[in-house]
Amino acid sequence: MAIQLANYKDQGKFSLTYESASSRFYANSRTETLRTVSKDSCAFVKAMVDDSFNDHERLSLLRKACESHGYRNRECMIGKGIDRHLFALYVLSRGTNTNSPFLDHYISQQWLLSTSQPPTLTNQIDEDANKDHSWLGACFAAVAKDGYGICYRFAGNHSICAHITSYKSSDRTDSHRFQKYLIEAFHSMAKLFEIEGVTF
């Protein structure tokens, strides 16, 4: 949700977002697309930039957005995602010379925000006890010339590592600017929990 909030502040709109979801429950499978932007995530983001909402309402919307995100992630993990199915239909349409405006539109959409979280290493090192030995994660390029690539991971309970990429040739993106918005998003979201006496 922090990435969605940062992107909205950076771009002034919601962007088609790709997040890889594991589908390793199935032999020879790799990933499915977890579509991060949802009705619930949009409601949360809009509330965060609208002064007419109070922190109780924002926290409630954040929880609902996270619950919705988790549900869609679990659906992807058990084979109930849609993007690999649509891609297979697209490949079949090309292979059989079948015209499908719907599939052509589907495949032509640009992922302006591509995100991923590498697997968390477990039983390797206690990252909270050995903060200097935390793995900083991986990195990949933005998949669209006017988009961002964001690879993130949780380093124990003490930090979140995020690698943000964008093309210097684009006048619509700026990784340093996005970083500023992402840090702001994390802080503003953490502040929401103070109403329950939780501090970070």
pLDDT tier at 80 (50, 70, 90 boundaries)? Answer: confident
In a domain, 183, yes or no: yes
Residue 122: the pLDDT is 60
Number of domains in the chain: 1
**Could you tell me whether strands 148-155 and 159-165 are parallel, antiparallel, or unpaired per DSSP bridges?**
antiparallel
Long-range contacts made by residues 195-199, C-beta under 8 angstroms, separation at least 24?
195/55, 195/56, 195/59, 196/59
Judged by phi (left if over 0) then psi (alpha if -120 to 50, else beta), residue 79 lies in left
In a domain, 91, yes or no: no
In a domain, 90, yes or no: no
The more confidently predicted of residues 167 and 140 is 167
pLDDT tier at 123 (50, 70, 90 boundaries)? Answer: low
pLDDT tens for each residue of 185-197: 999 999 999 988 8
Mean pLDDT of all residues in the chain?
Answer: 90
Helices marked H in 26-112 — which ranges?
Answer: 39-48, 55-77, 83-95, 101-108
**Which CATH number belongs to the domain containing residue 190 in this structure?**
3.30.559.10
Determine the Cα–Cα distance for residues 149 and 37; give it in Å rounded to an integer. Answer: 16
Q: Which domain holds residue 39?
A: 2-78+110-196
Is the pLDDT confidence value at 147 over 70?
A: yes
In a domain, 94, yes or no: no
In a domain, 83, yes or no: no
Residue 79: the pLDDT is 84
The more confidently predicted of residues 24 and 12 is 12
